[in-house]
Amino acid sequence: MSSQTHLDATYFAQQVATGAASPDELLDEALARVAALNPKLNAVVNLQEDTARKAIKAGLPNGPFRGVPFLIKDLGAEAKDFPAHNGSNLLRDTRYAYDSAIYERIRATGVVTFGRTTSPEGGVGPVTEASVYGGPTRNPWDVSRTSGGSSGGSGAAVAAGIVSMAHGSDGGGSVRIPASSCGLFGFKATRARFPDGPASGEGWAGMACDGFLSHSVRDNATMMDACAGSDLGAPYVAPAMETSFSDAIKHPPRPLRVKVCDTTFTGAPIDPACKEAVDKTAKLLESLGHDVTPGLPQADHDGMMHAWTKIVACGTALWIENTLKAKGRDLQQGDVQGIARGARAFAREISGAQYLAAVNKIHAYGREMAAVFTGCDIVLSATLAEPPAEVGRFHHEREDFENYRVGPGGVFEYSPFCAAFNASGQPAATVPMHWTDDGLPVGIHLAAAFGEDATLIALCAQLEQAAPWAGRKPDMLTAYLA
């Protein structure tokens, strides 16, 4: 394990366990960093200091992260003690009568949750620019750039050192995009690896799942072990892992067959910095004993993305309609932003038969991608086709939802890799292997066959040990610590 994991959650939990630090002291420091850094980032919202202090006083669970400050995404992760906006004025100050299964498992690790992190409205988009928060969430490495989305607040908060790990969720890259944008490690597990109840059986036809953004691979592994497993009434479950995430990272993987793609999956060029990151990582993997060959994963990527767009539009329309029904009124000006309005309008043109056809397309794509892994163990690409975009480029005030996603210059051109593995259900991760000459993070994307989470995270840990990244800090954090 890299010696530079000293700033991770595992380290801070060890400090608490030995008495070198107390949970209250760690919370004091996290809140001080929120006060100093969050005005520049707009990443942390809905602070609940009193709730956190009461949890400490009552006695924290004796889990692997006992006493470590933590933040949950302001989307999903329903919790009685943590009201949410879910990125939308329509959902502002939503309170829950129950705790979600994922939050129960997070809490059982002993973390001290003290607030939420920003998300775009409904979790749609590769940026976090929701009007309910009064402005965009910015990237600690360069505040003119986006921190990504939809877990953009979590990415910014972890990269800025406010917390060492945070909760996220991923329906089309929403953990991996901000992790790549913010120089972090992010892992999207195999479909149904984590619980989704009790509010629903699945998100976005099974494409969405929870996850975590961290500095170190070991933090993510430990938290995923704590949260893995189906919950009561789950419609389906992930295949059992041969070993835990934490055990998997203790040893390097066997020599793997790595298919390297330094373009998009359809062969279009990507930014030179992203291509450089792919080529550099491919050479490193080869030096570590892996069999590295170029190639494209053959599947209907364009058809998948159009189907993804229809499914997500219908999901957006559903939460809007359900919320309006509960409030007993029609949609009013200012309730939702343009992209959500556009998704709702687009969904109205989709028949039930067309929705089911889109789901079937996703399933067919999953079979195509399963066939890809009969010829390799890992698909390596960039996480994004470009370094982090400038704030405002993918703003949510426009209403042409379909064009926003799949049109010229749209999200799919910017993020052509991540959603593929939400559709297929296969595990995928982003590893911070490169920075541009002007200091912007560029993530490397790794994906494995369905159920092969252990193989994938073992490879991520091997890369972390071979090319440690945890010592890098944004200038704003360095200045704060000085």
Q: Any catalytic annotation for residue 73?
A: yes
Calculate the average pLDDT of the chain.
Answer: 97
Beta bridge partner(s), residue 44: 117
Q: What is the spatial distance between Cα 29 and Cα 389, in angstroms, rounded to a whole number?
A: 31
Backbone angles phi, psi at 468, to 5 degrees: -55, 140
In this prediction the pTM is: 0.98
Indicate the pLDDT class of residue 6, thresholds 50, 70 and 90: low
Taking alpha carbons only, the member of 292, 326, 98 closest to residue 198 is 98
The predicted-structure confidence for 378-417, as pLDDT tens digits, reads as follows: 999 999 999 999 999 999 999 999 999 999 999 999 999 9
Q: What is the spatial distance between Cα 69 and Cα 53, in angstroms, rounded to a whole number?
A: 11
The active-site residue out of 174, 216, 246, 415 is 174
The predicted-structure confidence for 123-158, as pLDDT tens digits, reads as follows: 999 999 999 999 999 999 999 999 999 999 999 999
Tally of CB atoms within 10 A around 77:
22
The active-site residue out of 2, 73, 259, 361 is 73
The percent of residues in the chain predicted with pLDDT above 90, rounded, is: 98
Q: Any catalytic annotation for residue 22?
A: no
At how many degrees (to 10) do helices 301-327 and 338-348 cross? Answer: 100
Q: What is the spatial distance between Cα 470 and Cα 467, in angstroms, rounded to a whole number?
A: 10
The active-site residue out of 150, 154, 164, 216 is 150
Q: Is the pLDDT of residue 103 over 80?
A: yes
Q: Any catalytic annotation for residue 200?
A: no
